[in-house]
Each structure stands twice: as C-alpha cells, then as structure tokens.
C-alpha cells in the first residue's frame, strides 16, 4: 500500500512538472503562441485596389487588431511587436454571379483581397507572405452603396479569421 502511495505521488509530481515546463501556450481559440511572444503590432493596410472604398483600410486594420486582442493575451504596441502584421488591400471588386434569362445577373459578388506579410520576430521560420480573399453575395436588384455597409463587416470577419488562423493557429 505504501508503494502505491509513493508511486501515485511521484506520478503526480512528474506529470505536473511535464505540463508546467511546456513552452507553448494553448487557448480555447485554437491559438498556439510561444510563451516568449508577448506583443503584436498591425501596420495600417493601404488600399491599393482599383476600386477604392475610402473607409476599408481603417475598418480592416481595426478588425485585424480587434481579432488578435480578443483571441489572445498579447499586448498591442504600435510597431516592432513580437508578431508583426503588414500589407495592403489588393482587390475590391464586384462581379455578376448568378445569370438568369437574358444575360441578367440575379446576384452580384463583392470580393475583397489582401496581401499580408506576417513576421514572427521570435521565430523567423514562421514568417510568411500570403494573399487572402473573401466575398459576400447580394441581390443584383440592390445597389452596392445600399448593401456595402452590411457586407463589409462580414467580409472583414472572414479575412481576419483566415489571417489569424494562418499566423497563430498554424492552420
């Protein structure tokens, strides 16, 4: 009986030691961030698309910052964070999608594309540069101006989710 108690005690100490010595922080958001990563910075994303929405750069930049703040315990700094996000908006386009009789579009698609450079200043093997795009469809009977304010938050949400997953969730 005494041997079993000693074995259980040693097992608990060993398991506790193993779990407290890990160098990766895990969260319920899917983020796996190294323990030495404490800060992040997001540079302003300039709009370089042919069709320009004057508010999109600020909305996208704010959306990415908010995503990282809400999903991690990292502190935001203005520049030179342990994790750095920079890039530009490369595409803002509307195309007809569903064609009905008489070559008339029943739906249009608003697509936003961004090019992102991710730098992990604590582990440069995780650096990357990628392009992301997301879209929302809307009825062609509606003008872009009338639906744009409702579509853009959804598109930004999709883009920031994809960027977050690619950078800190390693997806």
Check residue 23 and give its pLDDT: 41
List the chain domain ranges: 36-167
Check residue 26 and give its pLDDT: 41
Chain segment 43-75, per-residue pLDDT in tens:
999 999 999 999 999 999 999 999 999 999 999
Check residue 81 and give its pLDDT: 97
Matching CATH number, 36-167, of 1.10.150.130, 3.30.160.150, 3.40.630.30, 3.50.30.30 = 3.30.160.150
Check residue 6 and give its pLDDT: 63
Least confident interval from 26-30, 93-97, 126-130, 154-158: 26-30
Check residue 4 and give its pLDDT: 65
Position 158 pLDDT exceeds 90: yes
Output the pTM of the full model.
Answer: 0.80
Position 140 pLDDT exceeds 70: yes
DSSP assignment of 54-121, as one string?
TTHHHHHHHHHHHHHHHHS-PEE-SSS-SEEEEEEEEEEEEEEEEEETTTEEEEEEEEEEEEEEEEET
Token pair recorded at residue 139? 């009825």
Chain segment 6-50, per-residue pLDDT in tens:
656 656 655 555 454 444 444 444 577 999 999 999 999 999 999
Check residue 28 and give its pLDDT: 44
Other beta carbons within 10 angstroms of residue 45's beta carbon come to 23
Dihedral over alpha carbons 116, 113, 70, 46 (to 10 degrees)? 60
Percent of the chain with pLDDT over 70: 81
């Amino acid at each position: 009986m005494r041997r079993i108690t000693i074995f259980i005690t040693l097992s608990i100490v060993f398991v506790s030691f193993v779990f407290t010595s890990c160098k990766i922080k895990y969260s319920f958001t899917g983020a796996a961030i190294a323990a030495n990563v404490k800060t992040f910075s997001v540079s302003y994303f300039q709009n370089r698309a042919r069709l320009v929405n004057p508010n999109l750069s600020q909305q996208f930049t704010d959306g990415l910052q908010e995503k990282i703040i809400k999903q991690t315990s990292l502190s935001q700094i203005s520049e030179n964070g342990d994790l750095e996000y920079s890039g530009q908006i490369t595409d803002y386009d509307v195309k007809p999608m569903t064609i009905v009789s008489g070559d008339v579009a029943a739906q249009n698609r608003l697509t936003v594309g961004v090019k992102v450079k991710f730098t992990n200043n604590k582990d440069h093997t995780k650096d990357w540069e990628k392009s992301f795009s997301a879209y929302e469809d809307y009825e062609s009977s509606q003008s872009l101006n009338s639906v744009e304010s409702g579509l853009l938050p959804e598109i930004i949400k999709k883009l920031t989710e994809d960027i977050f997953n690619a950078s800190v969730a390693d997806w």
